[in-house]
Structure 1
Amino acid sequence: MRLLFRQRLFSWFDSYDIYDEAGNTVYTVEGKLAWGHCLHILNAAGDHIGTVREQVLTFLPKFELYVQDQYVGCIQKEFTFFTPKFDIDCNGWRVEGDFLEWDYRVTEACGAQVASIHKELLHWTDTYVIDVADPGSALCVLMLVLAIDAEKCSRN
Structure 2
Amino acid sequence: MTVKIHRLGLAAAMLMISGTLAADATGPLSQYQPPLSESFKQQLREADLAAGENTFMRKCSSCHDLKQEGGHGKGPHLWNLMGRKAGTVAGFEFSAAMRDSGHTWSINALNYYLTNTEQAIPGRLMDFRGIRRDAERANLIAFLSQFNDNPPALPE
Q: Work out whether the TM-score is over 0.5.
A: no
Aligning the two structures, in what range does the TM-score lie when normalised by the shorter sequence? Answer: 0.3 to 0.5
Structure holding more strand per residue: 1
TM-score (norm. length: structure 1)? 0.36
TM-score (norm. length: structure 2)? 0.36
